Amino acid sequence: MNRSNWIPAALAAITAAILPACDLVVLPEIKPGVTTGGEVRAKMGNPGFEFTNDDGTVTWEYTRQPAGVHCYMITLGPDQVVRKLEQVLNESNYAKAREGMTRDQIRRLLGKPANSTVFDNLREEVWEWHIEGMPHNELTYFNVHFDTGSGLVKKAGKRVEVRG
């Protein structure tokens, strides 16, 4: 590996190792009804994506994919004060991923996937999130399969790889 290639790889590895530790410190400091959007940006950086909601609120996405197993959604009111902070990669949201949903609906529900793969022979695009496994020695993923013709969810479920 030449010098110019290893630097970005090293920075990505360091970032992947540090972010979860930072979350443990920063997230408890974000308090609904108190913390402002400016304070969130100062603590967590710019969101990976911003969703505008029908009620005038905005939801910011902070994914820890592909190296991490969390995705945080922080909803701000029109007054730019935090209304809600939630980790969306959870059993309740996996159960909401249903046949017929759109890509946008899934993205708003679970955040940006760790990866996306198209299987032309199956007419499927599969989005995959790395999630917390039980027990923790298993690599666990949540997959959503979209029909490439309609763009709608065909099925969703977990996939587990047992580590040696």
Q: What is the pLDDT of residues 115-156, one digit of tens each?
A: 999 999 999 999 999 999 877 678 999 999 999 999 999 999
> Residue 55 has what pLDDT?
97
Mean pLDDT of the chain: 89
- 95 and 151, same structural domain? yes
Amino acid at residue number 72: Y
Q: Which two tokens stand for residue 49?
A: 């994506």
Total count of domains within the chain = 2
CATH of the domain at 117: 3.30.1450.10
Positive or negative, the CA dihedral 76, 23, 93, 99 is positive
Among 45, 61, 87, identify where a domain stops.
87
For residues 38 and 50, give the distance between their C-alpha atoms in angstroms, rounded to a whole number: 14
- 117 and 80, same structural domain? no
List the domain range (segments joined by +) for residue 111: 91-162
Quote the pTM value: 0.82
pLDDT digits (tens, 9 = 90+) for 102-112: 999 999 999 99
pLDDT digits (tens, 9 = 90+) for 71-104: 999 999 999 999 999 999 999 999 999 999 999 9
**Which of helix, strand or coil describes residue 138?**
strand
- 97 and 77, same structural domain? no
If one counts every other C-beta atom within 10 angstroms of the C-beta of residue 103, the result is 15
Among 48, 63, 87, identify where a domain stops.
87
